[in-house]
A and B are shown apart, each in its own frame.
Chain A
Amino acid sequence: MPSIASRVAAAGRVRVGGWGALARARRHFVPYLLLAPAFVGLATFKLWPIAEAMRQSLMASGVMVGTDRFIGWGNYLTLARNPVFWHSLRVTVLFSLVINPAQTAAALGLALLVFRAGPGIGWLRTLFFLPMTVSIVITSLIWQLILDPHAGLLNSMLAAGGLPMQPFLTSPRQALSSIILLATWKGAGYWMMFVLAGLTQIPGELFEAAGLDGAGTWQTFRSITLPLLRRVLAFVLVADTAVNFLMFAPVYLLTLGGPAGSTDLLMFETYKTAFRLLDMGRASAMAMVILAIILLVAAAEMRLLRADYGY
């Protein structure tokens, strides 16, 4: 009795001769058929809006609805001449350079911490993961209370310990770090899960062998754990980078780009340009720039952390 798999394959195989790609496709159309719904969803909700934004970035927004004019690269040139855009880009790059390694390292650290058997370790993992279940809006608002410059939780603890109270979100020097803090608090547990999964993939025999050869904890970590986590860390870093480039809610709720433009991330500038300055064309151009940056950075990160091993 032929197996189910071979019967499905046979059903998909039309008697078409030839080795070309089209011929091969015709022989194996079943998998494509099964992929179709997902692809339709992807095209409708991801690819088409991107194409639409690309089209809109080439138009000057008219005053009346429906009077947009085609101006080619005009919006991009306006952006290039706009000091506010460059400032926002600088802030976003700085933000990215700090938060992505920090969150990846935090995820790695937490994963190593909970990668062991023991009483209550499941509770600890849950505790670390819990912030992810709170919406970013609630997170931002609660952190605003914690970081309040005059009567917040953190400042009360500092004052009790005899340390000076800090301005946090109201200071141009501390506002961005405060947002990085709350974003890391929220995200570290989530990325920890991926690193944890990666850790469980490493064959136990390697650790045993290392132990037998007399390798210490640090040696083991450096020579076995870290290299074999490359693929997972690459994924975490790239995905985290993409997500952090799109950071919007904390800025919108807590700082509105301030104080003194110190938290003026690109997503917030894009939103402001679209809905406060009513310039959809320029906002779309900004969105395209963000997309290009994410693609470039992701490509660079993947190249840097490419894993040339298998197990």
Chain B
Amino acid sequence: MKRGVILLVLMLVTVLLGVRPGAGAGEAVTLRVTWMGWPRNEVMPFVETFEKNNPGIRVNIQLVPFSQLFQALEVQLRSPSTAPDVYIVDGPNTASYAARGLLLPLDRFYSKEELADYLSAGIAQGLYRGQLYSAPYVSSTQILYYNRTLFREAGLTPPPADPRTPWTWDQVVAAAKKLTGAGRWGFLFEQTADPYQILAVPESLGARIVSPDGLRANGYVNSPKFVEAMTWYQRLFTDWKVSPQGIDDLSTSQQYFGTGRVAMLVGEMWNVNILRKAYPNLFWGASPHPYFAGGKPVTPTGSWHVGIYPNTKTVDAAVAFVKYITGPAAAQQWFLVHGHTPVRKSIFKNLPGIFSEQPWRVAQYQLDHTSVPRPETPCYLEYYTILHETMRDIDQGAEVKRALDQAAAQIDTVCAKYRQ
């Protein structure tokens, strides 16, 4: 009897010790954030500022390197217990996450005035069936970098600085041919074979790249104009040989340009900082993204957005964090710290010293006038994966029409699950 009483008391004490006061107003809320693997010393000041201004919220942020980010998110988003509250969303994947019920609609948290500060391409990328599912964080644009020294040595006129008069692709190829030779190439796409980069080529010819509902590729990815564009792309590697084959990584492309092994590079604005830091002796210039004569200038755009997981238990904290980090002040600070192309018009207005000068002058013009966002389709990840492989095969010499036919068939099969 006595032993039983002692045991009962012990059990009661253990249970009472385990009981904690519920998460009340004074209790700290932990926000789980899965973020892109940018340098920790650049990201943490933003997190610390947020925590200081929001004492009830603790941010548990995970920085995942780019190469693992999408798989890591797919695994985390499979179940509510492992899903983050806030996560970084690659713009064109918004539709895919939204269609799978993995994003909270954000319209009710934003006023019309707040949304007006964003570039229209940015808003377009965050929409799915008319609702905003991800907040634009940054954008991107591609410009033509060229090596001034090599152009001068070859006695060639360099491409123009005025964003309203870009070179045509014919002019680029003509110059590239003269600059190729002796272990050097004339031209390179920074993200060779990547649909983000290369789709601007068929689009400049006027090709439609996917069906209006975004789920069918047959008749689009293998249309005559698309085939023509990809044949031109292939000739850069196999026929004119102005581009080196086998480059699969954008840091390698940057290296080739920085060390003078490639005379012209179509690349993103981040090269401005990269070239300044890693290749300070390189004498380079910036020109607008080329286009096909008779077609229209088209520039790739779009970048990271931020989304909220629908089952999050901390909607208020999540919204506060999202609106802070993508807000005008933090976004502008992120531009100054990291050099990421802005998606907010206020940043252009607030920094005239930067945006009225080369090369950001070209960037702003393109963002306002020639940017074409990637298509809104829940099947973007699959579309991108298959097209990426196909473009790689094409620059290695595969027969263009057959490769694109096969890609279209594969895409249609794989995207069938979204048609039900």
Contacts and interface: CB of A to CB of B under 8 A. Distances in A.
Interface string A19-61: 0000000000000000000000000000000000000000011
Given A63-B100, A65-B101, A260-B393, A275 B246 contact: no
A61 B389 contact: no
A170 interface: yes
Q: Lowest 7 CB-CB distances: which A-B pairs, in order?
A: A170-B246, A276-B385, A259-B396, A277-B382, A277-B414, A260-B393, A64-B101
Given A170-B246, A260-B398, A276 B381 contact: yes
B74 A275 contact: yes
22 contacts: A60-B417, A63-B100, A63-B417, A63-B420, A65-B78, A78-B413, A167-B245, A167-B246, A172-B396, A256-B389, A258-B392, A259-B246, A260-B396, A275-B70, A275-B71, A276-B385, A277-B381, A277-B382, A277-B385, A277-B386, A278-B382, A279-B417
A150 interface: yes
Interface in A240-289: 256-261, 272, 275-279
B43 interface: no
Contacts of A259: 246, 392-393, 396
Nearest to A274: B74
B389 A170 contact: no
Interface in B230-260: 244-246, 248
A211 interface: no
Interface in B242-288: 244-246, 248
Q: Which among B70, B386, B389, B414 has the highest number of chain A CB atoms within 10 Å?
A: B389
Contacts of B389: 256-258
Nearest to B67: A253
A260 B413 CA distance: 21
B381 A261 contact: no
A277 B414 CA distance: 7
Nearest to B96: A278
Contact of B417 (A62, A83, A167, A272): A62
Interface string A130-167: 00000000000000000001100000000000000001
Nearest to A69: B420
A113 interface: no
Contacts of B413: 78, 82
B417 A61 contact: yes
B418 interface: yes
A169 B248 CA distance: 11
B278 to A, nearest CB: 18
B406 interface: yes
B129 to A, nearest CB: 14
B382 A64 contact: no
A61 B74 CA distance: 14
B91 to A, nearest CB: 18
B34 to A, nearest CB: 16
Interface string B395-415: 011100000001000100110
A292 B378 CA distance: 34
B99 interface: yes
Contacts of B386: 277
Contact of A279 (B245, B393, B414): B414
Given A63-B99, A63-B417, 5 more contacts: A65-B79, A84-B406, A275-B71, A275-B74, A278-B381
Contacts of A170: 245-246, 396
A276 B248 CA distance: 18
A276 B67 CA distance: 13
Contacts of A172: 396
A152 to B, nearest CB: 11
Contacts of A78: 413
B67 to A, nearest CB: 9
Nearest to B71: A275
Contacts of B79: 65
A258 B100 CA distance: 30
A59 to B, nearest CB: 12
Interface string A69-92: 000000000100011100000000
Contacts of B396: 170, 172, 258-260
Nearest to B397: A260
Contacts of A279: 414, 417
A180 B344 CA distance: 50
Contacts of A64: 100-101
A169 B381 CA distance: 26
A83 B409 CA distance: 10
Nearest to B248: A256
A257 B193 CA distance: 14
Contacts of B410: 84
A127 to B, nearest CB: 32
B418 A63 contact: yes
B406 A83 contact: yes
Contacts of A278: 74, 381-382
Interface in B216-231: none
A150 B74 contact: no
Contacts of A272: 385
Interface in B35-71: 70-71
